[in-house]
Structure 1
């Protein structure tokens, strides 16, 4: 009887040490998805085409597909693609996503490209 109690007590102690009972403080590899920061993009995100043209000037390209519209602005430093879609409640299309790249096609921080394009027009 004492032997069974000792085995049972040992099993209970081992069960208390299992990792499944205690949440891990460190996420598993592959479970963290990198996100793009919107910091520095306040002058562009959520704006309509008129606001973008007031900020950057005439777009280098203006393409429409379905309800979406892409405006492209470029400088010697970078190219910015702004994607505009109507808000859920309706209304004029607004910027919901932007992509940026250097003229060579190499990546560039989106906020840095917005700043470079803004300086091109004198910071309006």
Structure 2
């Protein structure tokens, strides 16, 4: 049975393909599969210094928080007693007042550079399970003690 020339040509194609050369990898991008490939060093980075520009805080404005928002530490302690927590972070301060019904967190920030921190934000939660409660109701409950 004679071998057809076309069949022979197709049968030899894989052998010819094996003899082909593979192009060298480009020098612009290292081969990630090769751990020994030289990679250009990343450019040096400098940590940015913290911004020294003063940013005034947002001041909460909700009904029932009059006398709390804008108050300083002394006024808050006159209204609610000694704070359970008194935490400083930079020029900001957090006071925490507790009662049977709720826990009140008062955040104090300076309104302008160098000013004494005043209450700008209030958060409240139930003392029993930590779920959020009405802030004004918590303020009222803690004032009645």
Give TM class, smaller chain.
0.5 to 0.7
Alignment gaps of 5+ in structure 1: 1-35
Question: Which residue in the other structure is 1:95 paired with?
Answer: 119
Under a length normalisation based on structure 2, what TM-score does the superposition of the two structures give?
0.56
Match 1:83 to one of 103, 107, 115: 107
**Structure 1 residues 85 and 37 mapped into 2: Cα distance closer, same or farther (>3 Å)?**
closer
**Within 1, Cα distance between the matches of 2:137 and 2:83?**
18
The secondary structure found in structure 2 opposite 1:55 is: helix
Alignment gaps of 5+ in structure 2: 1-59
Q: Which has the larger radius of gyration?
A: 2
Identify the structure with the greater helix proportion.
1
Under a length normalisation based on structure 1, what TM-score does the superposition of the two structures give?
0.65
**Within 2, Cα distance between the matches of 1:43 and 1:114?**
10
C-alpha RMSD of the superposition: 1.3
Runs of 4+ in 1 over 4 A off after TM superposition: none
